[in-house]
Chains A and B, each alone.
Chain A
């Protein structure tokens, strides 16, 4: 009698020790990213045949269960891929918009001072100071345009470097997931801590490249990108970034469309930055043509027709006219006081100003649109994370309540031991 009662009490002590350890592990990891609440599964011991029939044999700790919510995982990963995709694009394009420096320090300001200078030259075509002012404002304009272009080029280079880094990191994470897959089929299932690490890695992979994952029956995870596997059973397939055309991500099987941060970078490199650049270039081409055409219709003080004012080649805008005498202010050869050609040049203000404003509006429109998408997808992603946290995270109040009941259960089991002990004592002293 007493030996089986003792073993029941011992099983209770052992089981509740496990439970207390697990609770203490939960509390210790309350602030650990990716940690999911664990519970000890208690089960009544296998019944035994006794003199009076079938009797219980105490309690066993069957294993440790990790709280999990696959649906919440899906939502978190899908929405965080979206959020980082739009967030990255918005961030890059906002830098692009800042490069333009509108409205105070941008090309608009340089354009306006150029028109002012042409207008001043039309009023005093015989004044060299007015002509120097035209030359210096053209110089300022070309410098600003070239700065914006160089800035956009640098933005492209930076985005390429970041994409390279992002893919390298993603490959390392995919390799780690493949490694963890090896532990899926060990007896007793995957250790909870490894499962946490794998789930955190899957989170990172979806934020980073927008990968999706499916679990097979044996507990191994398969990670895919647009249907192409990057983690398959226990091996990972590395992604690479193509250099020509730049900004594409490729697998051995061909190019894949990536999402997440890498997707945002890829879209910025292949679409957003080139579009902004093309809009600026179209404007510059139009400006150079308009200025040079209007200038060619005029005559310099020496009576020669006006040569080209600006040249745009190899992505560099430069001022061709260097001397005050190179500027054509007159619309008739030999008329020193005639400033009509300069007035025609100054009158380009309206059309060219509107053309540049449309470039700015298109770029800032793209920035505003991306910013809104980024904000929306970020709040969706925050909500999904909050939902998952509430399903799988640690609540200290709960743990404390559990601890109280576990402690009481342990104390009761200890009391059982002491009662059985005193019963045995009584028996021995007889």
Chain B
């Protein structure tokens, strides 16, 4: 049995109190911050994993913003294309009526006026914008549908490869645009030149020409509807990505909170236990230290 010296006993008591207080302090910190660790070295593997997961959660946020933008973009395109389909329908009906050759010149002039109006409306649909930028213009910001009065031709800007792309998930890029050239033209004809020709034929009463126009409008309509179908498919992919994204975000956020946050019920129970332990250590030390042989010698 070793001797116990006055200083040694003092130091040992201080050491034990320090230890008890240190343990209490860790739990106090956990309870007050709600975090399982406050610096990476407290728990290297958890903090490293948490940083990776946090980066994923942040990335989910950027995917979410891309998804929202893609949705709005696709909705604008779809509305505009549906309006265009209705106008094609109307142009087809009008030209079919005119081809019946029972109308007089006044009626044909009225039909012509409506055809010109339809053409202008289609042009404004082709130049429609979302947030100030053309939706059917590929990657550029110039008006996609323009009429060159010098050559009397209709021009479309943007190559078919110029698609707006949104990253909606990890390595998941969705094309969300289609160019005016693809929906209003089929390579040989385009709707604007066809309607121009139709209005000339209406003026001159060229029934054969009007009948040709009826056929062309029907053919061109399929380009428009197939474009709409493409964007519809893109919209489906975006919705799928949105569902996946929110499901993943919940998973990652849950993991993050499990890694970073302290289990409050456990921590508070520990706090109570350690606080009692510390108080008892204080009391016992005070009691043990106040007695020496001096108290019994008279």
Using CB atoms and an 8 Å cutoff, list the residues of chain A in contact with chain B. 30-31, 33, 35, 37, 94, 97-98, 102-103, 108, 112, 115-116, 119-120, 122-124, 126-127, 330, 332, 334-338, 340, 343, 346-347, 349-350, 353-354, 357, 360-361, 363-365, 367-368, 371, 382, 385-387, 389-398, 400-401, 404
Contacts and interface: CB of A to CB of B under 8 A. Distances in A.
Nearest to A123: B69
A400 B138 CA distance: 100
Contact of B39 (A33, A98, A389): A98
Contact of B15 (A382, A393, A397): A382
Given A337-B137, A346-B62, A349-B59, A368 B7 contact: no
Interface string B161-190: 010111100000000000000000000000
B195 to A, nearest CB: 28
Contacts of A386: 8, 11-12
B51 interface: yes
Interface of B: 2-8, 10-12, 15, 39-42, 44, 47-48, 50-52, 54-55, 58-59, 61-62, 65-66, 69, 131-133, 137-141, 162, 164-167, 260, 292-294, 297
Nearest to A394: B6
Contacts of A37: 5
Given A31-B7, A382-B15, A387-B2, A361 B140 contact: no
Given A361-B40, A371-B41, A396 B293 contact: yes
Contacts of B58: 112, 115-116, 349
Nearest to B3: A390
A119 B137 contact: no
Contact of B41 (A122, A332, A368): A368
Contact of A335 (B11, B15, B162): B162
Given A335-B140, A390-B8, 19 more contacts: A31-B6, A31-B7, A97-B39, A97-B41, A98-B39, A103-B54, A108-B51, A119-B62, A337-B164, A340-B165, A349-B55, A349-B58, A360-B48, A364-B41, A364-B44, A382-B15, A385-B8, A393-B3, A395-B4
Given A338-B139, A360-B51, A124 B2 contact: no
B117 to A, nearest CB: 30
Interface of B, secondary structure class, is helix
24 contacts: A98-B39, A103-B47, A103-B260, A115-B58, A123-B65, A123-B166, A126-B141, A127-B131, A335-B140, A337-B139, A347-B167, A354-B52, A357-B48, A360-B40, A360-B47, A361-B40, A361-B44, A361-B48, A364-B47, A386-B8, A389-B7, A391-B3, A393-B8, A398-B3
A410 B50 CA distance: 75
A357 B51 contact: yes
The winner among A123, A387, A400 for most chain B CB atoms within 10 A is A123
A336 B139 contact: yes
A116 B297 contact: no
B7 A102 contact: no
Contacts of A385: 8, 11
B64 to A, nearest CB: 10
B5 A397 contact: no
Nearest to B51: A357
Given A390-B8, A393-B6, A97 B40 contact: yes
B62 A103 contact: no
B131 A124 contact: yes
Contacts of B4: 390, 395
A390 B167 CA distance: 72
B3 A400 contact: no
